[in-house]
Chain A
Amino acid sequence: GAVVSQHPSRVICKSGTSVKIECRSLDFQATTMFWYRQFPKKSLMLMATSNEGSKATYEQGVEKDKFLINHASLTLSTLTVTSAHPEDSSFYICSASGGLANQPQHFGDGTRLSIL
């Protein structure tokens, strides 16, 4: 089945650091990628939708200058958490889709971000 690789799986860093998370589709072309955030024992909250070669669409309440998304190719999207603070600590998960609505979304294994 389709595989989505997310890296790194865990990051611990100091407040003020910028952190980049990569999401790669390994065996299919991901026209659309999605970035989610998950708080402990909560469901996934969509942060933004990115389409290859265009600007990401952010959900209401998500700061686009805080969470920079780049989708430069059909197999790679990155999320950069700029000047991270402790309140940004969370579990971030990406997913990828081939672009057709009847296709499933395939998820990465997530990144646990801890800001000290």
Chain B
Amino acid sequence: KQEVTQIPAALSVPEGENLVLNCSFTDSAIYNLQWFRQDPGKGLTSLLLIQSSQREQTSGRLNASLDKSSGRSTLYIAASQPGDSATYLCAVRHTGTASKLTFGTGTRLQVTL
């Protein structure tokens, strides 16, 4: 059974800092890995999607990497801003007919002024 873990569970940084969020998964048989952002009481916003054959994806100040063999992904946020405060979730999409997503436990990020 796939298990996805995110470290740290919570993080508070001052504005302007660069930061790294970690995601690890136990079963490397995945199609892709997706990073999401969730604001309190809201749905999920997709940030980046990395296919299993890719090593990284970039969008603006965000960079996500994937090391499938070791079961790890990182989300790098450059020059953090208060507006980046949210919960960040990673999710892996399984191989197989169901193609279900398994979500990580999430990292609650607070960027302070």
Q: Tell me if B110 is interfacial: C-beta within 8 Å of chain A.
A: no
User: Would A102 and B51 count as touching, CB distance under 8 A?
Assistant: yes
Q: Which of B68-76, B78-86, B98-106 contacts A (4 or more CB under 8 A)?
A: B98-106
**Tally of A-B Cβ pairs under 8 angstroms:** 55
Q: Residues of B contacting A102 with CB < 8 Å?
A: 31-32, 51
Q: How large is the interface on A (under 10, 10 to 19, 20 to 34, 35 or more residues)?
A: 20 to 34
Instruction: Decide: A49 near B32, CB < 8 A? Known: A6-B43, A93-B43, A106-B46.
Output: no
Chain A: interface secondary structure? strand
Q: Name the residue in B43, B93, B104, B106 with the highest tally of chain A Cβ atoms < 10 Å from its Cβ.
A: B43
Q: Are B100 and A109 in contact (CB under 8 A)?
A: no
A residues near B (Cβ < 8 Å) are: 6, 32, 34, 43-44, 46, 49, 57, 91, 93, 95, 97, 101-102, 104-110, 112
